[in-house]
Amino acid sequence: MKLIEGAPIAEAVYQECLASFEELKAAGHLPGLAVVLVGDDPASRAYVGSKERKCQELGMHSVKIEKSADTTQEELHAVIDELNADESIHGILVQLPLPKHLNEDEVILRIDPAKDVDGLHPINLGKLAMDDPTGFAPCTPSGCQRMLIESGIETSGQNVVIVGRSLLVGKSLALLMMGKGAGGNATVTVAHSRTRDLKAVTSEADILVAAIGIPKFIGPDHVKEGAVVIDVGINRIEDPTAKRGSRLVGDVDFEAVAEKCSAITPVPGGVGKMTIAMLMANTIRACRMKVGM
């Protein structure tokens, strides 16, 4: 069984980012990312912190905008409008989920699609569906695809089953993997909570992706012998033996499934490492596109 770790693959992405970054810098351009955080959800704050740190490590221009949990829709739109107009900002990411009273779709629609490095604007999702490479694909699904490519796992003609149909992960990954580019050309099935006999469906998968949000949901009975398993899930569970009293687990029961599959991603240390790497890559590409390089 091969362990597909995120760190070395993310590092390869960062090396590409650095090379591109140096070229931009030499031509007098500095890529800039703005991250908008609304409210004080600790997980969101931690994600935003790591995005900011990575920008700084790469030497990119980074701006963090923090708004209180009672920010209105209009106030948030005004923030986006300002960032859209800011020449020093090439990528805008609004950390989701937003507090319940805010309409996420309206906020995403407000972002200039050329700065939508999270790839959730309808223009970018449309480009993804059209196999148009000028768009931005959402970071987590592109990270999953990149892991498969870098690990030398053939996707063309393979049966891929994705459990989870969110726009952020499952549905976008389905579009990527049925696309005609590298890491694509797969026969994709998307399963969800209404899928009948899920185990029968997932057992057909050459490549099984779990993006569900339920700790250790995928067990050995879901997995075909020799399958590749990509675990997108990040769930915090209580663990009195852990230092913090809790630990992170995926949507896959790693120990039980690992012995059945040919390759598997761990949690933590798997897909999670890729999301920020792809965000940096998208931001640098947004800058290149803006300056025509």
Binding site for ligand NDP (CB under 6 A): 140, 163-166, 168-170, 191-195, 198, 211-214, 232-235, 251, 271-272, 275
Least separation in angstroms between residue 277's CB and ligand NDP is 10
83 vs 120, beta carbon nearer ligand NDP: 120
134 vs 193, beta carbon nearer ligand NDP: 193
Residue 158 catalytic? no
Q: Is 68 exposed, middle or buried (0-12, 13-18, 19+ CB in 10 A)?
A: exposed
Least separation in angstroms between residue 166's CB and ligand NDP is 3
63 vs 96, beta carbon nearer ligand NDP: 96
Give me 119's structure tokens.
């790839």
Give me 33's structure tokens.
């990312």
d(CA 163, CA 155) in angstroms, rounded, equals 17
251 vs 253, beta carbon nearer ligand NDP: 251
Yes or no: say if 252 and 231 are a contact pair by the CB < 8 Å rule: yes
Least separation in angstroms between residue 216's CB and ligand NDP is 11
Q: How many CB atoms lie within 10 A of CB 42?
A: 7
Tokens 């969110």, located at residue: 166
Of 54, 115, 116, 118, the catalytic one is 118
Least separation in angstroms between residue 103's CB and ligand NDP is 16
Count the helices and strands in the chain (H runs, E runs): 10, 11
Q: Which residues belong to the active site?
A: 51, 95, 118
